[in-house]
Amino acid sequence: MPLRGIRVLDFGRYIAGPYCGALLADYGADVIRIEGPAGNEDRFSVPVAEDGSGAMFLQMNRNKRCLTLKPGSEAGREIVRKLVTTADVVIANMPDDALVKLGLDHPTLAALNPRVVLVTASAFGSDGPLAQHVGFDAVGQAMSGAVHISGRDGEPARAQVNYVDFATALHCAFGVMLALRERETTGRGQRVSGSLLGTALAITNGLTIDHAVNGVERGMLGNRAFSSAPTDIFATRDGWIMTQVVGNPIFARWARLVGRPELADDPRFASDILRGNHGEELSAVMVELVRGADQRASLGRTGRGEGSGGAGAQALGGIGPSASRGNRAGRCDGLSGRFRLCPGRAHADHAVGERQGKAGCRAATGGRQRRDPRRDRL
Query: SS3 for 166?
Result: helix
* DSSP tag of 158: -
Q: Give 124: exposed, middle or buried? Use CB within 10 Å, 0-12, 13-18, 19+.
A: buried
- Percent of the chain at pLDDT > 70 equals 80
Report d(CA 145, CA 208) in Å as an integer. 9
- Mean pLDDT (the chain) is 83
Which residues form the catalytic set?
Answer: 165
Asked whether the whole model's pTM tops 0.85, one would answer no
Q: Are 202 and 179 in contact (CB under 8 A)?
A: no
**pLDDT tens across 321-349, in order?**
444 444 444 333 332 323 333 444 433 43
**pLDDT tens across 194-244, in order?**
999 999 999 999 888 998 999 888 889 999 999 999 999 999 999 999 999
Report d(CA 317, CA 222) in Å as an integer. 19
Query: Range with the lowest mean pLDDT among 93-97, 108-112, 170-174, 222-226?
Result: 93-97
**pLDDT tens across 149-201, in order?**
999 999 999 999 999 999 999 999 999 999 999 999 999 999 999 999 999 99
Better-predicted residue by pLDDT, 359 or 105 = 105
Domain 7-202+327-375: CATH architecture, name and number where available: 3-Layer(aba) Sandwich (3.40)
Domain pair 7-202+327-375 / 231-235+240-316, same fold: no
Query: Range with the lowest mean pLDDT among 259-273, 297-311, 351-365?
Result: 351-365
Query: SS3 for 92?
Result: strand
**Closest CA relative to residue 131, chosen from 120, 147, 142:** 120
Q: Are 70 and 339 in contact (CB under 8 A)?
A: no
Q: Cis ω on the peptide bond leading into residue 156 (within 30° of 0)? A: no
- Say which CATH topology domain 231-235+240-316 has: formyl-coa transferase, domain 3 (3.30.1540)
What are the boundaries of each domain within the chain? 7-202+327-375, 231-235+240-316
Report d(CA 350, CA 360) in Å as an integer. 18
**Closest CA relative to residue 118, chosen from 130, 105, 128:** 105
Q: Amino acid identity, residue 78? A: E
Report d(CA 113, CA 105) in Å as an integer. 12
